[in-house]
């Protein structure tokens, strides 16, 4: 499965409402998990089996909780049993389709 998630604290003490320290704590947990992952400006996507992916998301959410009085968590999952390597595979198929359209 692929799971894209965004986690952020609220009610923290940062005067500019910045959440980069909290997000860094979450991304560090994802990186240490050893699971395939990708982080962009809005989400972190992680690939693996249900229990391992959601275990990492839970740990990352708990880490972010230390930076505020509440935590917001958004998750979108692509569940495709029997497939692995989709964190790159989906992008490769997209780029091939774009290239094919450009040639036609």
94-103, pLDDT tens digit by residue?
999 999 999 9
The mean pLDDT of 9-34, rounded to a whole number, is 87
Q: Other CB atoms closer than 10 Å to residue 44's CB: what's the count?
A: 22
Which residues, in sequence order, are CB contacts of 28 under 8 Å at separation 6+? 63
> CATH number of the domain at 2-103, please?
3.30.70.930
What is the edge-to-edge ordering of all strands in the sheet holding 44-47?
A: 37-39, 44-47, 2-10, 70-78
Please report the pLDDT score of residue 18 as a whole number: 75
pTM greater than the 0.85 cutoff: yes
């Amino acid at each position: 499965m692929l799971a894209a998630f965004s986690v952020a604290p609220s009610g923290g003490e940062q005067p500019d409402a910045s959440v980069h320290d909290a997000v860094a704590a979450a991304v560090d947990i994802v990186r240490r998990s050893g699971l395939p992952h990708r982080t962009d400006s809005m989400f972190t996507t992680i690939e693996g089996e249900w229990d391992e992916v959601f275990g990492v998301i839970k740990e990352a959410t708990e880490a972010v909780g230390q930076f505020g009085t509440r935590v917001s968590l958004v998750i979108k999952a692509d569940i495709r049993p029997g497939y692995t390597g989709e964190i790159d595979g989906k992008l490769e198929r997209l780029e091939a389709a774009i290239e094919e359209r450009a040639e036609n």
